[in-house]
Amino acid sequence: MAIMTSGEYDIASIITHEFGQKKLLQTLELAGHPYAALNVVIRFDA
């Protein structure tokens, strides 16, 4: 988490998909396919 909040690296540039918690099942299914998604983020505030 420190790397993400430090601002030293552009973390947003490596995120391939972003979902809210209401689509948790869809997110986990997609994350299981490394050729379809590299870095999947689940937003718990959405």
- Are 17 and 23 contacting, i.e. CB atoms less than 8 angstroms apart? no
- Are 14 and 40 contacting, i.e. CB atoms less than 8 angstroms apart? no
Q: Which domain holds residue 15?
A: 2-43
Tens-place pLDDT, residues 2-32 = 877 888 888 888 888 899 989 999 989 988 9
Euclidean distance between CA atoms 46 and 8, whole angstroms: 26
* Residue 5, CA distances (Å) to 2, 11, 19, 31, 35 in order: 5, 9, 20, 23, 27
**One-letter amino acid for residue 30 of the chain:** L
More confident site: 9 or 46 = 9
Domain count, the chain: 1
